[in-house]
A and B are shown apart, each in its own frame.
Chain A
Amino acid sequence: MTPTTVDDTLFASVDPPRLAGSRCGNCGTVTFPVQSSCAKCTGSDMTTVELPDRGTLWTWTVQAFEPKAPYRVPASGFTPYGVGYVDLGEVIVESRLAGEPNGLEIGLPMRLVLLPVWPDSSGGDVVTYAFEPEGGAT
């Protein structure tokens, strides 16, 4: 069964996970998430595209304290998690980082995965996108 996502417009496909962005028909700028106009050339000729599922870590941190609402605390309670920007070539995407946030460094090869964030109404998990190191979560 395809899991429920936090926002379907983020995804070009859920299985396998692929992010959706927009490409400007005028200047070629690629955005994430999809948007109806171009932040660079102000044009509105935007086409939805599938973004690469692999990239490199551009910068990162660890969310070490529990954020206030509207952050949704997981059912299992808050644990520190990684956050970063991943360079996908034509666009750099902000993302949760999956797994224990150890051994992260700028330039690390990363791949797209799904990350469960809170329960859905039927006992399954609602998922968001995340990136993890190519060698698997550390």
Chain B
Amino acid sequence: MTGVSIVGVGMQPFGRHAPDFTGMAMGVEAVRLALKDAGVGWADIGYAVGGSNVSGKPDTMVSLLGLTGIPFVNVRNGCATGGVALATAANAIRAGETDLALVVGFDKHARGAFAARPADYGHADWYAETGLMITTQFFSMKDRRYLHTHGLKDRLLAQVAAKAFRCGELNPTAWRRTALTEEEILSARVINPPLTQYMLCSPAEGAAAVVLARSDRAADMCDRPVNLAAVAKRTRRFGSFEVFAPWLPPDAGHSPSVDAAQAVFSASGISPTDVQVAQLQDTDSGAEIYHMAETGLCEHGAQQKLLDLGETAPTGRLPINTDGGCLANGEPVGASGLRQVLEVVLQLQGRAGARQVAGPPQIGFTHVYGAPGISACTVLTAGH
């Protein structure tokens, strides 16, 4: 099968920007940076995929980038948009449609928790009008059930958040760059118990872009290309506990994160124990905890020991969310999955600055999860 490599990355840092700086304009900025990083021009790109949840149709950005006539696919898969867009572009290269593809994601969200329209998710109006159907309720309830089932303490939620902000402090493009103690995190305003405000990521603004090439052409345009060893996306199966679910069956099933992670490890021939740097969906700090186990990076219940030993910090054995993750960067939904890929690419190339994992690492992993129960994962390896 044709190999696919990442030869350029670009980002409009996440956070809050000027009111008149649109999500689409941020996307264009990220594209230009990624093209520059790859040393190619927009006219060289043969296929593009763009993702945005609320900030317009990505393919309309060709009016700013140049009307070259290329196929441009729009993706709208919630928080998993970036991963799905990446998979779509990689498949276009594998199918022989192009040698060089571009993936971009962007969004500009209003402040405060998301409000979803029931009809968009196949539900009747009562579900939201009566005060259910709020994403943060799901995060807190899945966290509580998970911690209860596996004998973990609420304090673990604060440990994960404190680690995220320590990483943010080391990342010049992070939104939240002030370290917080576990006590400060635990005593902060309660949003949905057991979650306080610092245990939940904030909707944000920003964009990220990635240039993909056929692996046999990648070395010509990039000193240190990163191989996209595998990428996969999955929807939920019966019985998994998902956001926006008025009911579940009593016999719990596993989440789509389990399926997507197994698919990329199987396809790449790489074991979860080989992973040297990982980016996991941390919409809230509990999500990072259960995603560690759902993706196979650790056993269920082993998270407490890993956090206590600092193993998931950039200096640990299994560095997770080294750029501060969603907690320190916020979440422009369409861009978030590509930020993860960008961070792992920088780590594998040794370009991650103060948060650089020693080595540099050779094998990375990314995982996004979104409503109403979708996941996309990648395995990335350093090129030679």
A residues neighboring B (CB under 8 Å): 6-7, 9-10, 21, 29-33, 39-40, 58-65, 67-72, 81, 83-85, 87, 89-96, 106, 117, 128
Known A61-B141, A68-B112, A93-B246; further 8 A-B contacts with Cβ < 8 A: A7-B126, A39-B238, A61-B195, A63-B134, A67-B115, A70-B125, A71-B131, A90-B250
CB of A50, distance to nearest CB on chain B (Å): 15
**B191 and A128 contact, CB distance less than 8 A:** no
Q: Which residues of A contact B249 (CB under 8 A)?
A: 29-30, 40, 91-92
Identify which of A31, A60, A83 contacts B131 (C-beta below 8 A): A83
Q: Which residues of B contact A69 (CB under 8 A)?
A: 115
Binds A, one of B60-68, B142-150, B153-161, B329-337: B142-150
B55 in the interface (beta carbon within 8 A): no
Q: Which residues of B contact A70 (CB under 8 A)?
A: 115, 117-118, 125, 128-129
CB of A55, distance to nearest CB on chain B (Å): 10
Q: Which residues of B contact A39 (CB under 8 A)?
A: 238
Identify 13 residue pairs between A and B in the complex whose beta-carbon atoms are under 8 Å apart, listed by A's number: A6-B130, A7-B126, A33-B124, A40-B249, A63-B131, A67-B131, A70-B115, A70-B129, A81-B131, A83-B137, A83-B141, A87-B250, A95-B132
B352 in the interface (beta carbon within 8 A): no
B248 in the interface (beta carbon within 8 A): yes
**A92 and B248 contact, CB distance less than 8 A:** yes
CB of A128, distance to nearest CB on chain B (Å): 5
B residues neighboring A (CB under 8 Å): 112-113, 115, 117-118, 124-126, 128-132, 134, 137, 140-142, 144-145, 148, 190-195, 238-239, 245-250
Q: Give Cα A81 to B117, complex, Å.
A: 21
Q: Give Cα A84 to B128, complex, Å.
A: 15
**B192 and A106 contact, CB distance less than 8 A:** no
CB of B371, distance to nearest CB on chain A (Å): 15
Q: Give Cα A61 to B126, complex, Å.
A: 19
**B247 and A71 contact, CB distance less than 8 A:** no
**B113 and A67 contact, CB distance less than 8 A:** yes
Given A40-B249, A63-B137, A94-B245, A58:B129 Cβ within 8 A: no
Q: Which residues of A contact B140 (CB under 8 A)?
A: 61
Chain A minimum-CB-distance residue to B124: A7
CB of A98, distance to nearest CB on chain B (Å): 12
**A71 and B141 contact, CB distance less than 8 A:** no
Q: Give Cα A59 to B131, complex, Å.
A: 17
Given A93-B246, A94-B246, A96-B132, A68:B115 Cβ within 8 A: yes
CB of A8, distance to nearest CB on chain B (Å): 10
Chain A minimum-CB-distance residue to B125: A70
Identify which of A6, A21, A64 contacts B129 (C-beta below 8 A): A6
Q: Which residues of A contact B190 (CB under 8 A)?
A: 62, 64
**A64 and B141 contact, CB distance less than 8 A:** no
Q: Which residues of B contact A29 (CB under 8 A)?
A: 249
Q: Give Cα A61 to B144, complex, Å.
A: 8
> For A59, A72, A106, which residue has the most chain B Cβ atoms within 10 angstroms?
A59
**B113 and A64 contact, CB distance less than 8 A:** no
Chain B minimum-CB-distance residue to A40: B238
**A61 and B130 contact, CB distance less than 8 A:** no
**B250 and A128 contact, CB distance less than 8 A:** no
> For A32, A40, A83, A117, which residue has the most chain B Cβ atoms within 10 angstroms?
A83
Q: Give Cα A34 to B124, complex, Å.
A: 12
CB of A95, distance to nearest CB on chain B (Å): 8
**A128 and B113 contact, CB distance less than 8 A:** no
Q: Which residues of A contact B131 (CB under 8 A)?
A: 63, 67, 71, 81, 83, 96, 117
